[in-house]
Structure 1
Amino acid sequence: MQNQHSVAELPHVRRQKILLLLERDGKVMASELGQHFAVSEDTIRRDLAELADAGLLQRVHGGALPRPKDTGKDVFTRLGESSEVKRHLARLGAQRVQEGQIVMFDSGSTTLLIAQSLPADIGITAVTASPLIAIAMAEYPRSQVILAGGRLNPATLSAGGHEAVRLIQGIRADLLFTGVCAIHPEVGITSQHFDEVPVKQALLDSASQVVAVTTADKLGAVEPFAVAPCNRLHTLITEQHLASGSIDDYRRLGIEVVQASV
C-alpha cells in the first residue's frame, strides 16, 4: 500500500475505503493501513472494531479478514441454494474418483453433490460421517458405504465424537473430498463448528490425496476454529474469478489449482 492521503480522511470515508481494500486484497493489516491513511494504528484499530461490530469484516491479530458469506446456514439451506456453478464444480471433483478406490467424503452440501455426480456404475468404498452422503452413495449398486457413527450435529447433519474419529483413523483412503467452510492462504482451513474439527483433522490424516471443491466466496474467508494449514490440500477446484485475493497465493503453497470456466 502506498500512502495516498496526506490529510486524514473523515472516519466514515476511511472505513469505506478500508472495506474496498479488503475486497481487493483479501486482507488488511493495521500497520499498513495506518501508513496508507496517514493516521495512527490506534485509529485504524478503532475503525476495524467498528466495522467488525457492524458485521462487515472479521478482526484477526494485526488486521482484518473478510467475513464468510454463509455463516449460520444449515446444510438444508445450502442444498436449497445450490447453483449451477456449484454443481459444475462438483462434477469436476467427481471426475477425480477412480474405480476401486477408498474415497472419504467430509460433510457438506458440495461433497454431497460430488457423491451424487459419480458415474452410475462406479465401484468404490465410500467412507463418511454424513448420513445424507451415505444415503446418496447407497444408490450406487457396485459401491460399498462405511458410515462413521457418533453424535449427530443438527447444523451439519454429520456425526462427531470419539466413535467417528476412531473409525476414520483406522482407514487408509486413496482420496478425500474435504468440506470447506472457509479457507485462507495464511490462516488455513477453518470451521464454524468446534465439534467437527477433530473429524475433519482425522479425515485429512487418513487420506493420500486431499481435494477441496469450493465456490470462490469461501476463499480468503476465516471461521473461528482452525482445522489445518492450507498445504494439507493437494488440489483445489474452484471458480475462475475470485471476489478478493489472488489464486496464486494457493499455488505458491504447492496446491494444484483447477479453475472452472462456467
Structure 2
Amino acid sequence: MLEETRLHRIRALLSTLNRVSTEKIIQHLGVSRETVRRDILKLEAMGALRRVHGGIVATSQEPEAPLSVRNTVREREKQAIARAAVRQLKAGQTLFIDAGSTTSLLADELLSMPGMTVITNSLNVALKLTATETELRHEVILLGGNMGLAAQATCGDLTISELQRYRADVALLSPVGLSSQSGASSFAHHEAAVASLMVQHANTRIIMADHSKIGLTSRIIYATMAEIDIIITDAAAADKPALASLQARCQQTILA
C-alpha cells in the first residue's frame, strides 16, 4: 500500500472516531507496527494528529471522511451486510434510509426487490434507485435541505421538517459506532438528528454496522439499545468481545 494511501486512511479513521489505537491502525491497514509508527510521526509533524499513550487523537474536531473515501473501506463486508438487510424486508414496505457507505450499497441490493417506498436524505441512495432506463422499481422520496458534500446528503432544519411528516415500516441506518452501553451513535450533529428522527418514526429499526464499529461510541447517540430491533454486522464481528453484550441486549443480531 502506498504511503499516501495509508496516510489518507489513517486520517479517515481519525476523523470518524476522533481517537484511534495503534493496534486498530495496524489491523485496518494490514502493515507492520514500524510502518504505522512512521506514518503517525509524519502526520503529527503535519499537525494532523497528536500522539497519546497507545494511539492517536485528533488535534481538532473534523468532519467524517468523505463518502468516496468510506466507500473504499471494507466494501466486501458492507455488501454482505446490505444483502442480509434486504432479506429482512418485504415488498411494498416504506423504508427510511440514512446516508452512509453501507446504505449506499444497500441501494444496489434493493434494485432486486420491487415495490418499495424509500424515504432518504442520501443523494447517492436516491440516484442509485432511480438510475434505470426501464420503469422505476421503487417510489423514491429525497428529503430536501442543505446539501452536505462529505456524506452527499441533505441535512438541516428543512430536512427535519420534511421528515416529521413521514412514517415508515423499517428504518435502515448505518452508525459510526455501536455499543451495548450507548447504542448507535454518529460523529456529526446534523447526521445524528436525521437518524434519530428516523428511529422515532419507524416501526422496526435495523442498524447496519461492520465489525470495525462494534464496541465504539462516537460523539452523538441517536438510538439506545431499547430502540434497536435488529443489528446486522459482518462475520468478522464474531471475534469482537463487545459482540456478546450487544447480542444479549438486542432481540436479533445477524452476522452476514
Q: TM-score, normalised by structure 2?
A: 0.72
Distance in 1, matches of 2:113 and 2:79, equals 20
SS of the residue 1:257 aligns to: strand
Structure with greater helix percent: 2
Q: Partner residue of 2:177?
A: 182
For residue 194 of structure 1, report the CA deviation from its aligned partner: 1.6
1:259 is the counterpart of 2:251: no
Whether contact under 8 Å (2:230, 2:250) holds in the other structure is no
Whether contact under 8 Å (1:129, 1:159) holds in the other structure is yes
1:240 is the counterpart of 2:235: yes
Whether contact under 8 Å (1:95, 1:118) holds in the other structure is no
Q: Partner residue of 1:196?
A: 191
Q: Partner residue of 2:103?
A: 111
Q: Partner residue of 2:207?
A: 212
Q: Please, which runs of 5 or more residues in structure 2 have no aligned partner?
A: 1-20, 25-50
After superposition, residues 30-179 of structure 1 pair within 5 angstroms as 50-51=52-53, 54-55=55-56, 72-120=64-112, 122-139=114-131, 141-179=136-174
With 196-205 and 246-255 compared, the bigger mean Cα shift is at 246-255
Whether contact under 8 Å (2:214, 2:242) holds in the other structure is no
Q: Partner residue of 1:224?
A: 219
Q: RMSD across aligned C-alpha pairs, in angstroms? A: 2.5
Q: Please, which runs of 5 or more residues in structure 1 have no aligned partner?
A: 1-18, 23-48, 58-70
**2:254 alignment partner AA:** V
With 110-119 and 134-143 compared, the bigger mean Cα shift is at 134-143
Distance in 1, matches of 2:200 and 2:193, equals 11
SS of the residue 1:99 aligns to: coil
For residue 56 of structure 1, report the CA deviation from its aligned partner: 7.1
Whether contact under 8 Å (2:103, 2:174) holds in the other structure is yes
SS of the residue 1:117 aligns to: helix
Q: TM-score, normalised by structure 1?
A: 0.70
Q: Partner residue of 2:44?
A: none
Distance in 2, matches of 1:129 and 1:72, equals 17
- Number of aligned residues: 202
**1:106 alignment partner AA:** D
With 186-195 and 243-252 compared, the bigger mean Cα shift is at 243-252
Distance in 1, matches of 2:104 and 2:211, equals 18
